[in-house]
């Protein structure tokens, strides 16, 4: 009941603030899944300037009858986030979903942040993972700074409780962004130390991407120690790389190809990750989107994810209406989703 | 009677002098039309030709839709060709003192400060992509193309640095001063640059909000101005 009051109150505040805003976004979606029931989601955010904004979302699932929420308040010196959210702090925790809160303090170009709650590794769009309850208690204390224009540094210490033992992670991420005509080049390197059972485990990741117009080349190469908790696309013990190339076939058809190879040092397994995603702008008001991801595990545990969406853009693309079907096939389970999403950025 | 005839003759000579079109007056008329417009929209295609060692033409084409409003001063360019640039949008908003670039590959909107060097004027005081009309010896004639009467301005470069690159240019303009086509030839009289204008609309009541509306994307603000250099090779023609 308290949750509902908080959420309702936040929506009333958001809608009632009528003075000039800079931009905002509203999203309504529903998805029915063969294994996980039906989800309803409504979200709204408003920004008055680069560092002054409010947002809220509610997610309801018919199977577990749970209401999850997400609230954030951003001000020039303070950010408060509460509920279920993706913190996106660095590459090694890129797929962390946290049910808890975040407090950030801004001093000049510095951000000092503290997060606490229960986390899990998940990937947006994949029903089998988005319906997992975050269950790893963790706390993160970190510092992020910008120096000499386009260089970013993030340091953090994470403590997590797994199997009733407290483990610690120290992480350094360095990012350099170079502006190019019609795009940018982004280079990132990250080093991670994980303290478990008095042993120090070392992991490293290099990431690079170049985007010019509709051309995009992205890739990473990395190693995640087998004893380190995985909260990214690398599984525990993975050593390998992934490359993706977005290269338009014409001014209407935009495919993106990806290929990856990983050797898992923990389970002694070889994995090949293949993907293709394509968008076809049939008309100004119709866009067809298809996606296939095939993860081949040479020991037989294959995984396939497919998605087909019919999108109906309106208002110069500021409004995006989508109908889609998704299918996930694992070695021991499969599920199918039908969904609808309306989003409007104003 | 003789006096009256003389007066009529002088008057008609004066009138013909006043209404005689010159290449410069045509360019000035386009300029005036552009300057007095409240808003302009058009499609524009630029083709740059290079040549292989066997002499085969290798065109590089860039197409875009341009929409401009004078007050508030907003310019929006939606690229449609080549495929690598398709979907890319530039917005120069002089009223809000910002520039925006939407990138389809990253679904990001990069917002940067507007600087005075980023001009939103579509000008015809000079010949597009070439330079000042004073650097050319211009000749005007009237031609008919597909039952449409057009002005055709032919220009021969006068400056040594222009002569080193171009032999001549042809500029086709409608009778109501809408540019249609500009073709520039290299020193071997082969096409070098071609610009085509189509669907030119003046004062069609463009809405500032429509121009400012970009596709959905993550907004990223940067302190330095946008680098809006397009990567099409507008260089010296191949010899």
A179 at interface of B, judged by CB pairs closer than 8 A: yes
- Whether A122 maps to a domain, the answer reads no
- On the question of pLDDT at A220 being above 90, the answer is yes
Looking at chain B, the number of H-run helices and the number of E-run strands are: 4, 14
pLDDT (tens, 9 = 90+) of chain B, 239 residues, equals 566 656 555 555 444 444 567 888 888 888 888 888 899 999 999 999 988 888 888 888 999 999 999 888 899 999 988 888 888 899 999 888 889 999 888 888 888 888 765 444 455 555 655 667 677 888 888 999 888 899 998 988 888 888 888 899 899 999 988 899 999 998 888 999 999 999 999 999 999 988 998 888 888 888 777 766 554 433 333 43
Asked if A182 lies within 8 A of B222 by C-beta distance, the reply is no
CB pairs under 8 A between A and B: 89
Instruction: Report the gap between the CA of B166 and the closest CA in chain A (Å).
Output: 28
Instruction: Report the gap between the CA of A321 and the closest CA in chain B (Å).
Output: 12
CATH T-level fold of B31-237? outer membrane lipoprotein receptor (LolB), chain A (2.50.20)
Give the nearest chain B residue to A321 (CA atoms). Answer: B216
| Cβ atoms within 10 Å, residue A242 | 19
Give the nearest chain B residue to A51 (CA atoms). Answer: B221
The conformation of residue B1, written as its DSSP 8-state character, comes to -
Of A180, A181, A320, the CB nearest to B216: A320
Q: What is the pTM of this model?
A: 0.77
Only one residue has tokens 């008329």, namely: B29
For A186-220, b where at least 16 C-beta lie within 10 A, e where not — what string? bebbbebbbbbeeeebebebebbbbbbbbbbbbbb
d(CA A62, CA A69): 15
- Whether A8 maps to a domain, the answer reads no
Minimum mean pLDDT among A54-58, A297-301, B220-224: which range?
A: B220-224
Asked whether the ipTM of the predicted complex exceeds the cut of 0.90, the reply is no
Of the candidates B124, B120, B83, B81, the one whose C-alpha atom is nearest the C-alpha of residue B211 is B120
Of A179, A181, A316, the CB nearest to B213: A316
Looking at chain A, the number of H-run helices and the number of E-run strands are: 2, 20
**pLDDT tens, residue by residue, A168-184:** 999 999 999 888 877 88
Compute the Cα dihedral for B216, B220, B222, B227 and give only its sign: negative
Local structure of A289: helix, strand or coil? strand
Asked if B215 lies within 8 A of A181 by C-beta distance, the reply is no
Domain ranges for chain B: 31-237
A165 at interface of B, judged by CB pairs closer than 8 A: no
CA B69 to chain centre: 16
Q: If interface means Cβ-Cβ distance under 8 Å, which residues of chain B face chain A?
A: 79-88, 101, 103-106, 210, 213-217, 219, 221-224, 227-231
Q: Give me B186's structure tokens.
A: 């290299």
pLDDT at B120: 44
Instruction: Report the gap between the CA of B140 and the closest CA in chain A (Å).
Output: 38
d(CA B13, CA A140): 89
Q: Are A112 and A212 in contact (CB under 8 A)?
A: no
Asked if B216 lies within 8 A of A317 by C-beta distance, the reply is yes
- Please report the DSSP string for A150-207 in residue order: TEEEEEEEEEEEETTEEEEEEEEEEEEEEEETTEEEEEEEEEEEEEETTEEEEEEEEE
d(CA B73, CA B39): 9
Asked if B83 lies within 8 A of A251 by C-beta distance, the reply is yes
Contacts of B206 in chain A (CB under 8 A): none
Asked if B80 lies within 8 A of A251 by C-beta distance, the reply is yes
Of B87, B214, B217, the CB nearest to A214: B87
- Please report the DSSP string for A4-62 in residue order: HHHHHHHHHHHHH--S--SEEEEEEEEEEETTTEEEEEEEEEEEEETTEEEEEEEEEET
Q: Are B94 and B116 in contact (CB under 8 A)?
A: no
Residue B236 has phi, psi (to 5 degrees) of -65, 145
Asked if A211 lies within 8 A of B231 by C-beta distance, the reply is no
Strand A78-85 relative to strand A66-74, pairing: antiparallel
A216 at interface of B, judged by CB pairs closer than 8 A: yes
CA A310 to chain centre: 22
Only one residue has tokens 């090949």, namely: A272
Of A149, A248, A318, the CB nearest to B216: A318
The conformation of residue B135, written as its DSSP 8-state character, comes to G
Asked if A249 lies within 8 A of B230 by C-beta distance, the reply is no
pLDDT at A173: 94
Contacts of A149 in chain B (CB under 8 A): 223-224
A317 band by pLDDT with thresholds 50, 70 and 90: confident
d(CA A112, CA A100): 17
d(CA B40, CA B75): 10
pLDDT at B4: 61
Q: Give me A70's structure tokens.
A: 């997400």
Rama region for B180: left / alpha / beta (φ>0; ψ in -120 to 50; rest): alpha
Local structure of B136: helix, strand or coil? strand
pLDDT at B119: 47
Q: Are A222 and A205 in contact (CB under 8 A)?
A: yes
More confident residue, A213 or A253: A253
Contacts of B83 in chain A (CB under 8 A): 214, 248-251
3-state helix, strand, coil in chain B (%, to 5): 20, 45, 35
pLDDT at A275: 95
Section A187-203 average pLDDT: 91
- Residues 111-140, chain A, touching B (beta carbon < 8 A): none
Q: Give me A89's structure tokens.
A: 């702090």
| Residue percentage of chain A with pLDDT more than 70 | 94
Q: What's the total number of domains in chain A?
A: 1
Please name the residue ranges forming H helices in B99-196.
160-163
Section A144-162 average pLDDT: 86
Instruction: Report the gap between the CA of B147 and the closest CA in chain A (Å).
Output: 33
Contacts of residue A332, Cβ cutoff 8 Å, sequence gap at least 6: none
- H or E element at residue B147: none
pLDDT at B3: 61
A335 band by pLDDT with thresholds 50, 70 and 90: very high
d(CA A124, CA A136): 18
Asked if A213 lies within 8 A of B222 by C-beta distance, the reply is no
A178 at interface of B, judged by CB pairs closer than 8 A: no
Q: Give me A343's structure tokens.
A: 């989003």
Q: Are B153 and B173 in contact (CB under 8 A)?
A: yes
Q: A97 forms bridges with which residues in the sheet?
A: A120
Structural domain that includes position A252: 237-345
Contacts of A214 in chain B (CB under 8 A): 83-88, 104-105
Asked if A317 lies within 8 A of B227 by C-beta distance, the reply is no
Q: Give me A310's structure tokens.
A: 């019919």
A50 at interface of B, judged by CB pairs closer than 8 A: yes
Instruction: Report the gap between the CA of B85 and the closest CA in chain A (Å).
Output: 5
pLDDT at B5: 56
- Whether A159 maps to a domain, the answer reads no
Asked if A249 lies within 8 A of B79 by C-beta distance, the reply is no
Only one residue has tokens 């603030």, namely: A17
Q: Which of B65, B80, B104, B211 to mutate to probe the A interface, most A CBs <10 Å?
A: B104
d(CA B16, CA B174): 21
- On the question of pLDDT at A7 being above 60, the answer is no
- Whether A47 maps to a domain, the answer reads no
């Amino acid at each position: 009941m308290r949750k509902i009051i908080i959420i309702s109150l936040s929506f009333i505040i958001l809608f009632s603030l009528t003075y000039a805003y800079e931009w905002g976004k509203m999203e309504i979606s529903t998805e029915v899944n063969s294994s996980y029931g039906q989800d309803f989601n409504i979200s709204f955010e408003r920004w008055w300037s680069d560092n002054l904004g409010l947002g809220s979302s509610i997610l309801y699932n018919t199977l577990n009858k749970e209401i999850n929420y997400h609230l954030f308040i951003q001000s020039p010196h303070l950010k408060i986030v509460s509920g279920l959210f993706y913190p996106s702090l660095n590459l090694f925790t890129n797929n962390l979903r946290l049910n808890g809160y975040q407090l950030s303090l801004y001093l000049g170009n510095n951000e000092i942040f503290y997060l606490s709650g229960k986390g899990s590794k998940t990937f947006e769009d994949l029903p089998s993972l988005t319906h997992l309850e975050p269950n790893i208690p963790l706390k993160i204390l970190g510092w992020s700074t910008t120096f000499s224009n386009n260089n970013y540094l993030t340091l953090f210490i994470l403590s997590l409780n797994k199997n009733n033992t407290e483990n610690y992670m120290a992480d350094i991420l360095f990012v350099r962004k170079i502006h190019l005509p019609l795009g940018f080049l982004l280079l990132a390197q990250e080093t991670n130390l994980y303290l478990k059972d008095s042993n120090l485990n070392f992991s490293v990741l290099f990431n690079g991407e170049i985007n010019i117009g509709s051309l995009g080349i992205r890739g990473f190469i990395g190693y995640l120690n087998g004893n380190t908790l995985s909260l990214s696309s690398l599984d525990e013990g993975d050593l390998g790389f992934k490359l993706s190339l977005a290269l338009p076939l014409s001014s209407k058809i935009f495919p993106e190809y990806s290929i990856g190879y990983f050797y898992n040092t923990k389970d002694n397994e070889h994995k090949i990750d293949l993907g293709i995603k394509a968008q076809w702008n049939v008309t100004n008001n119709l866009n067809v989107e298809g996606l296939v991801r095939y993860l081949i595990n040479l020991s037989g545990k294959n995984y396939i994810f497919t998605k087909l969406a019919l999108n109906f853009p309106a208002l110069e693309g500021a409004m995006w209406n989508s109908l889609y079907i998704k299918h996930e096939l694992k070695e021991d389970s499969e599920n199918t989703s039908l969904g609808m999403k309306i989003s409007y950025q104003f | 009677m003789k006096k009256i005839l003389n007066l009529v003759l002088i008057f008609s000579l004066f009138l013909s002098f006043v209404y005689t079109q010159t290449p410069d007056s045509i360019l000035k008329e386009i300029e005036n039309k552009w300057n007095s417009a409240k808003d302009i929209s058009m499609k524009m295609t630029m083709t740059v030709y290079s040549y292989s060692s066997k002499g085969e033409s290798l065109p590089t084409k860039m197409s875009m839709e341009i929409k401009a409003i004078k007050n508030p001063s907003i310019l929006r360019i939606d690229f449609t060709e080549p495929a690598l640039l398709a979907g890319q949008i530039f917005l120069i908003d002089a009223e809000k003192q910002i520039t925006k670039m939407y990138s389809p590959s990253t679904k990001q909107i990069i917002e940067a400060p507007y600087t005075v060097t980023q001009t939103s004027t579509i000008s015809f005081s000079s010949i597009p992509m070439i330079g000042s009309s004073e650097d050319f010896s211009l000749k005007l004639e009237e031609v008919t193309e597909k039952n449409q009467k057009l002005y055709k301005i032919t220009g021969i470069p006068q400056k040594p640095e222009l002569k080193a690159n171009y032999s001549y240019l042809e500029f086709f303009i409608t009778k109501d001063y809408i540019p249609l086509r500009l073709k520039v030839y290299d020193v071997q009289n082969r096409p070098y640059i071609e610009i085509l204008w189509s669907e030119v609309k003046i004062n069609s009541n463009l809405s500032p909000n429509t121009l400012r509306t970009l596709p959905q994307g993550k907004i990223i603000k940067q302190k330095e101005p946008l680098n809006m250099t397009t990567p099409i090779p507008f260089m010296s023609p191949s010899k």
